[in-house]
A and B are shown apart, each in its own frame.
Chain A
Amino acid sequence: MNQDILVVIEHLRGQVSDISYTMLAAGRELAQSTGGSVVAVLLGHNSQNLAGDLAADRVLYVDHPALADFTPEAYQKTLAGLIGENQPRAVLLGHTTIGMDVASGLSAQLGLPLVSSGRSFTADGKFISQICGGKIMAEGDLPGPTALVTMVPGGYKPEQGQSTQPPQLTEASAPALEGLRVALKQYIEPEVSDVDIAREQLLVAVGRGIQNQDNLSLAEELAEAMGGVVCASRPVVDQGWLPTSRLVGKSGKTVKPKVFLAMGISGAPEHVEAITGSDVIIAINTDPAAPIFNVAKYGTTADLFDLVPALTDQIRQAKSG
């Protein structure tokens, strides 16, 4: 048992994900309260080059062909061995499509406590998690002896976890990775769309508050009047009202327009993480407690069904006048 903080680096097809740098920054804060080191854990195959800009005291690297791409089972087996050998004070994993696939399994396999949706740590080492769609924060002592924590973005800036000094790299050996029951068959590229919302300067975004598919025309008319494009949060795309190419959020696109107009979007963390690069966010939501108002620059609790037609009319008048 030591006081180190292990940070499990996430990467996809040769690119380190932003959450990895965010977690390195979180790990640094936590290590200051425990008095340990920040140790980045990098699993891959011929992936040493990904360690170059990790702001860690050292990097534990495991190379194995079965780790070339993420699969939950191979990752969990490898991480279970590393955690057992190193016995750190905490292990940070992404609250992501990668980290979430292994964190709970590791907790059950190793009998170690798990905290999910961790956003930041206090100076005295308490965890702060963000739950209930961003509406509730939960705080508590970091459980022991080794706490597993899945981290959401927002608490630290990714740049805080980047370094120009390459860290010291130590290779660790992989466990036997045979007889695996999960295998990657292939990647399927996202469908090519006529519109790339990641490049648009004006986005009209709709969320659950739009209520039904027919009401989408309100957003479409506004976008057309302004020369913008309609995009959506997860519930709208899951209903099949808009294609996946228009999805903004954790499993969709990250956007950075000049103006992001959020209509009927509550502001769940999975969505918010993908819009914070916008220059100006304007939120329309009848719920004054909606978390979207914490990231928006401007907001109104007016009913979108009254406001949006008025807005479209005025823009049309301004353009024709």
Chain B
Amino acid sequence: MNIVVPVKLVPDLVEELTVDASGSALDTAWLRLIINEFDDHAIEQAILLKEQSGGQVVVVSPNAEGVEDMLFTASAKGADQLIKLNGDFEDGVNNHGLARALATLLRDLQPDLILTGVQAHNDLDGSLGPLLAQYLEMPYVGYVSGVTADSGKVVARKEYPGGLIAEMEVTLPAVLGIQAAEQPPRYVAISKVRQAMKTAAIDEQEAATLDPSGGPTVSRMYQPEATEQATMISGSEDEIAARIIDIFKESGVL
């Protein structure tokens, strides 16, 4: 099975996010980018499928700072082919624009299955997977946390609230939005990533002019003003612990 995994980098939420001088976009100057965590699960799910039933895994990402390291890490995990999509991505492009650019590239790759993260935390115009599916005229199922390959189709386990799972049979070729792989994304030692840097090649492709139509225009971006702010407890560990125990007692749990 030929599996393509489109992935992208997103701001690391551990870092402080600030709005730039325009007041309508994130300040990218100090932004640290990491792989979208759901995309990391999509890579893992693709490699698990390859290990179970053969085939190859192609990981493709739009260019951004740190994209080579991310692609080489995917290679160290077991991806067979790496593609960097060059284009005017520096200022950030929305998913409509990215999906159109990827659709052109993916048509040539003729995938049986496209796995991508079900969403990214900074999506403002929907998620990438179903846009790609529509442009490629493939079916889509999202919030998937497990995939079993069958001949000409896959069974995708779709998550609903409360832990309910719906098994969906999907005719290939198809796009699945991955919420979680069947097992946590595997760890790779940095030495294996360094080895991949020497042996794996990144294929660079040029994107056509990006067309972002279909997304909204943001006029103002800001950090949420807390309508209700927690009463903060400070002091030594013991003092804070004592106060928390008082709250437990007031609440009737102790």
A: residues with CB less than 8 A from B are 12-13, 17, 69-73, 97, 100-105, 107-109, 111-117, 126-127, 129-143, 147-148, 150, 181-191, 201-202, 226-228, 235, 238-240, 244-245, 247, 250-254, 258-259, 261, 266, 268, 279-283, 287, 289, 291, 293-302, 306-307, 310-311, 313-315, 318
Contacts and interface: CB of A to CB of B under 8 A. Distances in A.
Contact of B13 (A112, A135, A279): A135
B253 interface: yes
23 contacts: A72-B130, A108-B96, A111-B214, A115-B216, A131-B122, A131-B123, A135-B13, A181-B171, A183-B169, A186-B167, A187-B167, A201-B253, A202-B253, A226-B248, A227-B253, A251-B179, A254-B161, A266-B13, A298-B230, A298-B233, A302-B240, A307-B241, A314-B238
A310 B41 CA distance: 36
Contacts of A108: 96, 99, 130-131, 134-135, 214
B48 to A, nearest CB: 14
Given A101-B177, A310-B240, 14 more contacts: A12-B161, A17-B161, A115-B124, A132-B11, A139-B222, A140-B220, A141-B216, A188-B167, A190-B165, A226-B254, A235-B37, A252-B162, A293-B230, A307-B241
Nearest to A241: B184
Contacts of B166: 69-70, 184, 186-188
Contacts of B251: 258-259, 279-280
A318 B253 CA distance: 13
A23 to B, nearest CB: 16
Contacts of B222: 136-137, 139
Contact of A105 (B130, B217, B224, B233): B130
Contacts of B160: 12, 97, 251
A252 B41 CA distance: 18
Given A116-B125, A132-B11, A302 B219 contact: no
Contacts of B143: 97, 100-101, 251
B132 to A, nearest CB: 9
A239 B121 CA distance: 19
Interface of B: 11, 13-14, 16-17, 19, 26, 37, 41, 95-96, 99, 118-119, 121-131, 133-135, 139-143, 155, 157-171, 174, 177, 179-180, 183-184, 213-224, 226-234, 237-238, 240-242, 244-245, 247-248, 251-254
Given A104-B126, A307-B237, A240 B183 contact: yes
Contact of A115 (B125, B237, B242, B252): B125
Contacts of A238: 41, 180, 184
A233 B138 CA distance: 33
A70 B168 CA distance: 10
Contact of A280 (B17, B164, B247): B247
- Summarize A's interface: helix, strand, loop or mixed: mixed
A208 to B, nearest CB: 9
Contacts of A101: 130, 140-143, 177
Contacts of B99: 108
Contact of B232 (A148, A239, A301): A301
Contacts of B126: 100, 103-104, 107, 114, 116, 148, 150
A203 B174 CA distance: 40
A208 B99 CA distance: 30
A258 B252 contact: yes
A51 B191 CA distance: 59
A100 B179 contact: no
Contact of B140 (A105, A137, A184, A186): A105
B240 A307 contact: yes
B216 A318 contact: no
A262 B224 CA distance: 20
Given A141-B219, A181-B139, A247 B163 contact: yes
Given A239-B184, A314-B245, A302 B214 contact: no
B123 A116 contact: yes
A181 B165 contact: no
Nearest to A257: B253
Contacts of A129: 124
Contacts of A251: 143, 159-161, 163, 179
A318 B245 contact: yes
A148 B213 CA distance: 14
A85 B130 CA distance: 23
Given A72-B142, A259-B251, A109 B159 contact: no
Contact of B216 (A132, A133, A143, A268): A143
Contacts of A279: 251
Contacts of A104: 95, 126-131, 134
Nearest to A302: B240
A190 B223 contact: no
A97 B161 CA distance: 8
